[in-house]
Amino acid sequence: MTFELDCLGLKITVPLENSHAVEGGFIAGAPALSLNLPSAPVRFYRHGWQSWTLAAWIDPSLPVTPISAPDFRAKDEDPLYAISKSHVSAWVGAFEFGKDAVLLVGALDLGGRVMLQGAQMSAFYESGGGDWFFALGKEDQVFKRYAQLLGERLGSRPTRPLRVWCSWYSLYNLINEKILRQAITDLGDLPFEVIQVDDGWQRSTGDWEANKKFPSGMADMAAKITATGRIAGLWLSPFITTKSSSIFRDHPDWILKDDEGRPVFAGMNFSGKIYALDVSHPAVLGWLQQQIRKVRAWGFEYLKLDFLYAGAFPGRPFEPKPREEIYRQALRTMREAAGEAYLLACGAPIVPSLGLCDGIRIGPDVTPYWLNVPLSVYLNNPNHPSTQNAVRTSLGRLWLKEIVHIDPDVLFFRSRVNALKPDERSLLLDLGEIAGFKATSDLPQWLSTEDRKKLSDYLGHSARLKQLGRYKFQIDNREVDYSAAIPLPKGQPFPTILASGLGLAQMARREVLPAIAEVLKNRFS
């Protein structure tokens, strides 16, 4: 069977079996397919695998530049394609040939990848087969239709986005019971619906019990939050662990192993080196269920589940199933244990999470500065925490708003401990309006009277939105253009930095954030 797509004189003919027309395009069933495009596209939409992984329109004529540091590749990219010499997109790829002429090829099942080399497009499933959606037309139309089809296949959870205060971006993991109780009090009547305790409350990554900094326990903390009329939220990273945890020590069979029988390294975070749990293991699934039921019994009804990508890491799992299938099964186990709690998936493989989470992070972590030059530029890592990286990738995933709450991360209102320039801060605040998910970590004592009023007004405001172009929006009566924030920065390669005698640590101290010292100095003042 042959399908022909025609748009503005551009014709693409696709000879495929098992195909049928649907609204907006057609669906073809195939484990793999290839297509000679009419020409090399001027832009390629590359969709990242998990929350932090770059999703953006890129120039396909430029060479692929993998992240230089293996530790960051493990944390920020799909490990199977992290050093590919071709442009690889997770589940969906799109090819721009001219204004309003965009070809979208999107997987409707788990494990799909789209690859581009010159004018040659190939798409494949990592295992077995599945369906592909083809559409040609205006960018907004083809992505909207693809999102609708994903929602029909995988589900959606149409609930209202919440207004959230979380502890991370002011206190990081240096939280304790006294500080949080004071913050809860000082938030006063600010219109937050959720107060979420982030990393730093647990004994270790893998041991999800209150540590010594929370002597009254986490049920008491949840009660203090709910007493203010708000929902109590809690951070966990249930698919990873560290060597210091009892899980790693007492249950070595619960750790995902590679082909050599070694624990699968999943990157670095504030806990140090982290390792993936084998979430296909029945005992691990039972343990996950217990952990979620436990924190729900404590009184937490909003759960931020972080570093979820580890649940879909390649390895030798107990249950030999496709890795994204394993991930989705484990996330479903937690969804069922959580009941009606709000689940925010972070560091999460995007498509396998749909229908099982209420919200999903759609970009890297923000920071109170614009760009971490040493780690983002010199190490070729556009996935690293930085506000510019977060803005770029979040804008590349707005099409998901059709079927899931999209979280571009927190917004900054504080005057203190903030190195963002006024225009940079405005772009971030406008992104929150566009996405519809509004959160902050600003400590009340870091807010001036004017800051506090702006925050209160912002949380209570519902903007009128209209998208005018790929990077241009109308927000109420203003036009906002993100074009200048989108291009990937060009910098000198990392080896030159070393050759110059200026080491990475020194470069970070000099360029990353003069305010880091101020953050540490003022964190508790």
Task: Provide the pLDDT for residue 38.
Answer: 86
Average pLDDT over residues 365-389: 93
Choice among 365, 409, 430, 442 that is catalytic: 365
Residue range 281-295, pLDDT digits in tens: 999 999 999 999 999
The residue behind tokens 């807010």 is 447
Give the confidence band of 3 by pLDDT, cuts at 50, 70, 90: low
Average pLDDT, the chain: 90
| Residues paired with residue 263 on neighbouring β-strands, in sequence order | 257
Query: In this predicted model, which residue has the larger pLDDT, 48 or 1?
Result: 48
Burial class (CB in 10 A: 0-12, 13-18, 19+), 502: middle
Choice among 78, 306, 358, 451 that is catalytic: 306
Give the confidence band of 18 by pLDDT, cuts at 50, 70, 90: confident
Residue range 82-129, pLDDT digits in tens: 999 999 999 999 999 988 899 999 999 999 999 999 999 999 999 988
Q: How far is CA 6 from the centre of its chain?
A: 34
Q: Of 96-105, 293-302, 509-518, which one has max mean pLDDT?
A: 293-302
Query: In this predicted model, which residue has the larger pLDDT, 193 or 495?
Result: 193
Q: Give which of 190, 195, 514, 267 is closest to 367, Cα–Cα.
A: 514
Task: Pick the range with the lowest mean pLDDT from 57-71, 89-103, 194-208, 494-508.
Answer: 494-508
Task: Pick the range with the lowest mean pLDDT from 14-28, 439-453, 469-483, 494-508.
Answer: 494-508
What does the chain come to in residues?
525
Give the confidence band of 19 by pLDDT, cuts at 50, 70, 90: confident
Residue range 389-437, pLDDT digits in tens: 999 999 999 999 989 999 999 999 998 889 999 999 999 999 999 999 9
Q: Give which of 201, 191, 199 is closest to 164, Cα–Cα.
A: 191
Task: Provide the pLDDT for residue 401.
Answer: 95
Average pLDDT over residues 483-494: 76
Give the confidence band of 302 by pLDDT, cuts at 50, 70, 90: very high
pLDDT surpassing 60 at residue 501? no
Task: Provide the pLDDT for residue 518.
Answer: 42
Task: Provide the pLDDT for residue 497.
Answer: 40
pLDDT surpassing 60 at residue 487? yes
pLDDT surpassing 50 at residue 494? no
Q: Can 407 be counted among the known catalytic residues? A: no
Q: Can 189 be counted among the known catalytic residues? A: no
Task: Provide the pLDDT for residue 2.
Answer: 63
pLDDT surpassing 90 at residue 505? no
At 79 the three-state DSSP class reads coil
Query: If you write DSSP's letter for every residue of 172-222 in order, what string do you get?
Result: TT---HHHHHHHHHHTTT---SEEEE-TTSEEETTEEEE-TT-TT-HHHHH
Give the confidence band of 9 by pLDDT, cuts at 50, 70, 90: low
- pTM, rounded to two decimals: 0.93
Give the confidence band of 383 by pLDDT, cuts at 50, 70, 90: very high
Q: Give which of 354, 360, 310 is closest to 332, Cα–Cα.
A: 354
Task: Provide the pLDDT for residue 12.
Answer: 65
